[in-house]
Each structure stands twice: as C-alpha cells, then as structure tokens.
Amino acid sequence: MSAPQRATPDAAPARADVRRNRRRLLDAARAAFTEGGVDAPPAEIARRAGVGVGTLYRHFPDRASLVDAVLGDRYDTLRDEADRLLDACAASGAFAALTTWLDLFACHLALFQGMADSLRPTLLEPAVDAARGCDAMLAAWDRLFTRAQQAGAIRRDARPRDILRAVNALRWATQGTPTATQEADRLRALLLDGLRYQHTDGIRAGR
Amino acid sequence: MSAPQRATPDAAPARADVRRNRRRLLDAARAAFTEGGVDAPPAEIARRAGVGVGTLYRHFPDRASLVDAVLGDRYDTLRDEADRLLDACAASGAFAALTTWLDLFACHLALFQGMADSLRPTLLEPAVDAARGCDAMLAAWDRLFTRAQQAGAIRRDARPRDILRAVNALRWATQGTPTATQEADRLRALLLDGLRYQHTDGIRAGR
DNA sequence: ACCTGAACACCGTTCAAGT
DNA sequence: ACCTGAACACCGTTCAAGT
C-alpha cells in the first residue's frame, strides 16, 4: 500500500536537525541509563536531550530500540572477541577462551542497571523477543561453546544458551549491592566449575 | 502517644466480618497469584474477594505482607524439612540432603510467577528488606550447608546465602517458558556440580 | 517532514463519607 | 471500628496543532 521503504532505513537521515536530535537523544539516554538504569523515565531522557517526548518516541518507538541504539556496536564487538578467542583456543585452551569471553559478557551486563532484565527475554528459547542486535554474537558464542565441548573441556550435556542465561541470571541476583560485580563473579566461577566437571570421570569430592 | 497495642497483633480479630474479609482476601489473592503471578492488580484481588480496595490495603498495607500471608507457614515447613534433613545426613549423606532441600526450595519458587523477583531483595546481604517470614528457614539452611562443608561434601569457599540467591536467579532465568521448571533444574544441577567440585583435588576434566 | 507537549490511558494508593 | 470506591497521584504513550 505505502511507498517502498529506503534500502537503508538505519542510514543517517537527510535533515541535519533530525540527526542532531537523534544524537542528543542517544547522549541523554546514555547519561540517564548510567544514573538510573535502562528503565529511566522517557520524560527525563527527553528533557535532558532538550526535545519533546514525542520526538523520543518518533526516533525510538519502544524501549528496546533505544537501549539497542545506545548499546551501539557492543554486540558486534563481543562477537568479534568470540571469534578471536575461537582462533586462540589452540594456544590457551578452549576452557580459558570460554571463561575469558564470559567475563566480557558479564562486564557488558554490568554496564547499566536493569540490563539483565532487559536481556532475559532475548536469551529464552524460543526467543520471546525478536532477537535484537545480538544474533551474530549468540552464534559466535555457540561456536566457541561447541569447540570447548569437542575439545572435551566441558561436559556434553550442557547447552550454550543455558550458560548465557545463567550468567545473566547470576548478575541479576546480585544487582543493586555495592559488591555486585565480585559476587556475580564468584557465583559464575561456581557455575563454570560445574560446567567443567565431567560426570564420566566418576570423581566426586564428597559422598 | 497511642494506646498500647495488643500483645498478639496477628491474632484473629474479634469481629467475625473482619475475619471473614481477611479470609476472602487471602483466597482471592491466592487465586489471582496463581493466574497472574504475585503482581496481580489490587483491584482484581479486591473484586474477587467482593470487598473494596481500601479493605485490601487495610488488611495488607503492602504487597509483601499480602504475599507472605498467602504463603502462610510455607517457610516454617521448609525450615522443618531442613532440620529433618540435617538429622538424616548421617544416613544419606550431606550432599544428598543439600540437593533434596534445594529441590523443595526451587519448588517453592515456582509456586507463583514473580516469586523470584519478590524474594531477591530478601536474599541479599545485607538484606534490603526486613527479612520476612523466612529468617528461621535461612538459619536452618545455613546449618545444613555448614554440615555439608564440615563433612567435606562441598567446597569451603562457598557461602550458604550465595547458593540460595543463585537458585533463585536460575529460576528467574527460565520463568515464563513452558519448560521453565525442568530448565531451572538443569541449570541448578550444573551449579551444584560446581559446588561439589573441590579445587584441592586438582582434577579438571579439560585442559 | 518533523517537533511539541497537552491530553489520554492506566494503575496503584489514599481518604472523606458512609455504615 | 471498619468498609467503600471516587478521587488523587503518577507515569508511559499518543496525536492534534504548530513550525
């Protein structure tokens, strides 16, 4: 019914003021997210940007699109890191590659308050969300995980998406405390020891 | 300033209609929680109970007090189970006692949608909430956990509250999916293998 | 085309009036 | 004393009017 869309809908718009508004909104959102988490009120973001709320909604129809825009190319960077670590597996070991990447992922989750809640639906299978900017990252993680399984570094009966959901959840568990990051790290280390542990070894510490 | 409170503020009130309203509210809340989770709208609960919203707020000033009242003596039951399992450690092993109790705890978390979110602040250290009805349960869990550590069944560098928060988080991670319970079970099993794993053994599955 | 912000919709909580 | 539910407060979203 309507005229054909532009081939590159995410390209920079023609009008300078539109680009400027978008830039201001992203800066304002980043600042608001940093102070109040990803659930910062729309009115506050618009006020900081010096625009009306309607402009915010015009540029970013829903919360997820705003969060993703603020996140920018972080998911691509995480994907690149995963691919880089996959190549380095032979040198430093598949398990080390896994933990190194999950540290990066955990760091990403700590960027703003509320990130864990925001990402939860995306990490479900089947995904409730349309997978946001992170499809490629998830695929790269799957490759890294499969490599570790093939190398015998982690148990066979675990699924890659499970671990991501768990790491996300463990971050959620500790959010809002002064020592959130280190507590999340401790819980993640525990989980990773479980992932590393092979049932077939038949070795158990206790009775 | 005011007249002294009754010695037993939680005792059944004198008036029959007040008791009846309380009963109705609890029944309505349980039904609403079952269908819509612990965040079910106050108006719906009051409507189901056949009372005004004001009556709901009079009986239960905040959401937590309503949830706790609906939960009833479940935390006491969980405490009793923990104590019972502590006694049975000699027969079936401290680790088995731990997993058995955590299964019960996980089952409790699955009672209503939103339970994990509701319990998160309570499980933080220092607790953000005034600890609700579950102080005694948490203390019993600490005993069970310490026993397992003393028996060498689990690693020394883990803290009891950590595990509870983690189990709660893993439930949160899977909520809303058709297979939520079994997926949470799988993630919990992974975590528990990590808990069981002893660093001092020096045995690792991978490289 | 795009922007503005008042108006609208929604929902949790309170409290003046009633019993 | 307790109950009722309209009124209030708050907040996210929309859209008629303006540029």
- In tens, the pLDDT along A123-165 reads 998 777 777 789 999 999 999 999 999 999 999 999 999 999 9
Q: B197–A196: do the CB atoms touch at under 8 Å? A: yes
CA of B60 to C1' of D2 (A): 14
Cβ–Cβ < 8 Å for A145, A137: no
What is the rounded radius of gyration, in angstroms, for the C-alpha atoms of chain A? 20
Looking at per-residue confidence, does B6 or B92 come out higher? Answer: B92
Sign of torsion over alpha carbons A7, A9, A12, A13: positive
- Which pLDDT band holds residue B173 (cuts at 50, 70, 90)? very high
Cβ–Cβ < 8 Å for B194, B170: no
Tell me which residues of chain B, numbers 99 to 138, contact chain A at a CB-CB cutoff of 8 Å.
120-121, 123-125, 128
Q: B154–A198: do the CB atoms touch at under 8 Å? A: no
Chain A residue with Cα closest to B147? A206
The tokens describing B88, both together, are 């049975």
CA of A50 to C1' of D17 (A): 20
What is the rounded radius of gyration, in angstroms, for the C-alpha atoms of chain B? 20
| Per-residue confidence (pLDDT) for residue B12, from 0 to 100 | 65
| Per-residue confidence (pLDDT) for residue A6, from 0 to 100 | 35
| Per-residue confidence (pLDDT) for residue B74, from 0 to 100 | 98
Chain A residue with Cα closest to B160? A187
Rounded to an integer, the average pLDDT of B184-204 is: 78
Tell me which residues of chain B, numbers 26 to 55, contact chain A at a CB-CB cutoff of 8 Å.
none
**Which residues does chain A have with pLDDT short of 50?**
1-9, 200-207
Residue B101: CB partners within 8 Å, gap ≥ 6?
B78, B81, B82, B85, B141, B144
Instruction: For residues A68 and B110, give the distance between their C-alpha atoms in angstroms, rounded to a whole number.
Output: 31
Find the CB nearest B194 among A169, A193, A206: A193
| Per-residue confidence (pLDDT) for residue B78, from 0 to 100 | 98
Whether the beta carbon of B65 falls within 7 A of nucleic chain C: the reply is no
Q: A170–B166: do the CB atoms touch at under 8 Å? A: yes
Tell me which residues of chain B, numbers 166 to 195, contact chain A at a CB-CB cutoff of 8 Å.
166, 168-170, 172-174, 176-177, 183, 186-187, 189-195
pTM of the predicted protein model: 0.91
Q: Which of A149, A179, A187 to mutate to test the interface with B (most CBs of B within 10 A)?
A: A187
Q: Which residues of B touch A154 (CB under 8 A)?
A: 205-206
Strand D nucleotides with an atom less than 7 Å from a protein beta carbon: 1-6, 11-16
Tell me which residues of chain B, numbers 60 to 89, contact chain A at a CB-CB cutoff of 8 Å.
none
Cβ–Cβ < 8 Å for A60, A66: yes
Chain B residue with Cα closest to A155? B205
Instruction: For residues A133 and A74, give the distance between their C-alpha atoms in angstroms, rounded to a whole number.
Output: 9
pLDDT one-digit tens code per residue, B29-62:
999 999 999 999 999 999 999 999 999 999 999 9
| Per-residue confidence (pLDDT) for residue B10, from 0 to 100 | 52
CA of A176 to C1' of D9 (A): 27
Chain B residue with Cα closest to A185? B162
Q: B203–A203: do the CB atoms touch at under 8 Å? A: yes
Compute φ and ψ for B133, nearest 5 degrees.
-80, 10
Residues, chain B, total?
207
Cβ–Cβ < 8 Å for B40, B53: no
Cβ–Cβ < 8 Å for B75, B139: no
Find the CB nearest A190 among B174, B195, B203: B195
